[in-house]
Amino acid sequence: MSYVAPLKDMMFNIEHLANIEKIAAIPGFEEAGLETAQAVLEECAKLNEGVIAPLNWEGDKNPSSFKAGVVTTTPGFKDAFRQYGEGGWQGLQHPVEFGGQGLPKTIGAACGEMLNSANMSFALCPLLTDGAIEALLTAGSDELKAIYLENLISGKWTGTMNLTEPQAGSDLAMVRSRAEPQPDGTYKVFGTKIYITYGEHDMAENIVHLVLARVTGAPEGVKGISLFVVPKFMVKPDGSLGARNDVHCVSIEHKMGIKASPTAVLQYGDHGGAVGYLVGQENRGLEYMFIMMNAARYAVGVQGIAVAERAYQKAVGYARDRVQSRPVDGSINASAPIIHHPDVRRMLMTMRAYTEGCRAMATVAAAAYDAAHHHPDAEVRKQNQAFYEFMVPLVKGYSTEMSLEVTSLGVQVHGGMGFIEETGAAQYYRDAKILTIYEGTTAIQANDLVGRKTARDGGQTAKAIAAQVQATEAELRKQGSADALAVAKRLQAAREAFVDVVDFVAGNTKASPNAVFAGSVPYLMLAGNLMSGWQLGRALLVAQDALARGEDAAFMKAKITTARFYADHLLSKAPGTRDSIVQGADSVTAMALESF
């Protein structure tokens, strides 16, 4: 079954949950209202459904290949990437002054979801380029911006992010790549970087590597890391490409999923040193890299939603077609399509509810980002920034863990055929696994949620968000339908569980760090569950009103049903999660190490 972009659900979120018209009232976004969003999303859907999605299965069968230092991507990728660049899609959210379209993240995120649903391996190239653009916009000199930004934003060149080394995975204090200052103000960069997504490929004229390295004599640990631009080809003063720089791909990885995306091992400085240009100031590289990381973390959360959507569509298509066994209620007196069986319906509803809940959460987070970065009022910017920063580990952590469950259910709906590669259901499951690992594992997102986002301010931001959830509960009770009341009840129980955990985290992180961090991932999952359930509660209110006005009955009824299912079956898990965090910490670390 081919991919169909869920435009109606995306537009519902953009209009009603993200309030796009409020974003369009922000200076600079005047043209980015509902009409623009609809037009952009429709165009984006055409490219992804027609050009990029058909290459997904091909990329899994015929992944990128490596021979004598050259990486050749899947047949069709190069032409699709050319169309992607020419359509202006790489520059969608980037500044107009460098050739971008300057659209809000609220619109860009929906386009990112479509691209990743269509073909996650392909989408990783633009995703990393976006990160490189963000870092240069924030910390690059005017000269670096002039040389690199326009070509990155046009899709003519692509960007990478070089953090990881064989001995330094998540612990960047162990980075050993070095940079030696040169008399002309450049640096010579030496070292090995691993897991470099699209570190070498044949889809663009030049690749702009952003590399973490230590300047000679820099302090040890994370305080001594700097960030450098190291282009694959040197750029001449007139903007044309010159000599090949001393950075070479020595191999690409053989992976469980995202097989078409070349994951490179890059060697810097084997032939005298790769020429690098300092981004910002020496020893502030980690700070700048986190700008890329935060952009990428949100985008990876969107990847989780995207692959879940694709798996859901595939499973629904199969469940409608696959005839097996009589329905248990006797409604059909013969074997029927498996979509008639209650447990298959449960699996499909779980897939749908998770996907829609996380999409709603991510859309609202994108709107907060737009307000945080562009609103004229400083106080509004500050509040939205705090909300967005709290949401990033949830969008990344919860949405990606969710995608594993959804893609696994997708295989299960297919039964034995799901285990056979030819159906394509297994690819989504394999592709999804990396999402909980790269750009910071789920545990690293949870550490961020505990340390920076909860303990640091004593839980104030978390509790301010909980107060907003409580306001939605009151609205649901006022609305008064059976569905609204049921959702309000579950939302209240989940919110109270969340606040209990926030108090536990804020009160014990310093005194009993092991107890708090033993429950850090469950805390992240509880928080993500609550935020998704809250947004579906808001969606239910909108849908009830629309239904009363007779608008789009089938869609609105489905939205209400999905919100109710989420509350009954997913949000209802929150109190149990709270108990395991607050009362179960000791049993996590009680086992003697030699007993494992």
**In 232-340, alpha helices (H):** 285-321
Predicted local distance difference test score (pLDDT) of residue 291:
83
Distance between CA atoms of residues 552 and 9, nearest Å = 12
The dihedrals phi and psi of 166, each to the nearest 5 degrees, come to: -50, -35
Strand partners, 265: 251
> Left if phi > 0, otherwise alpha if psi is -120 to 50, otherwise beta: which for 372?
alpha
Question: What DSSP state is assigned to residue 276?
Answer: E
- Catalytic-role residue among 439, 473, 475, 594: 439
Query: Are 438 and 196 contacting, i.e. CB atoms less than 8 angstroms apart?
Result: no
Predicted local distance difference test score (pLDDT) of residue 336:
96
Amino acid at 153: I
Structure-token pair, residue 81: 């990437």
Predicted local distance difference test score (pLDDT) of residue 1:
66
Structure-token pair, residue 251: 């191999």
Helix/strand/coil for 62? coil
Beta strands at 226-231 and 178-181: parallel, antiparallel or unpaired: unpaired
Query: Are 443 and 451 contacting, i.e. CB atoms less than 8 angstroms apart?
Result: no
The dihedrals phi and psi of 328, each to the nearest 5 degrees, come to: -65, -25
Beta strands at 241-244 and 70-72: parallel, antiparallel or unpaired: unpaired
Query: Are 384 and 371 contacting, i.e. CB atoms less than 8 angstroms apart?
Result: yes
Helix/strand/coil for 325? coil
Task: Report CA dihedral (305, 308, 312, 318) to the nearest 10 degrees.
Answer: 150
Q: How far apart are the first and last CA of the chain?
A: 45
Distance between CA atoms of residues 99 and 476, nearest Å = 45
Structure-token pair, residue 288: 């700048």
DSSP symbols for 517-533: HHTHHHHHHHHHHHHHH
Residues in the chain: 596
Distance between CA atoms of residues 503 and 524, nearest Å = 14
Q: Residue ranges of the chain with pLDDT lower than 70?
A: 1
- Residue 296: partners with Cβ closer than 8 Å, 6 or more residues away: 127, 128, 130, 131, 161, 439
Burial class (CB in 10 A: 0-12, 13-18, 19+), 595: exposed
Nearest to 349 by CA among 379, 298, 315: 315
Predicted local distance difference test score (pLDDT) of residue 290:
85
Distance between CA atoms of residues 312 and 305, nearest Å = 10
Distance between CA atoms of residues 412 and 433, nearest Å = 16
Question: What DSSP state is assigned to residue 322?
Answer: -
42 is an active site residue: no
- For 414-432, write each residue's pLDDT tens digit: 999 999 999 999 999 999 9
- Residue 79: partners with Cβ closer than 8 Å, 6 or more residues away: none
- Residue 464: partners with Cβ closer than 8 Å, 6 or more residues away: 386
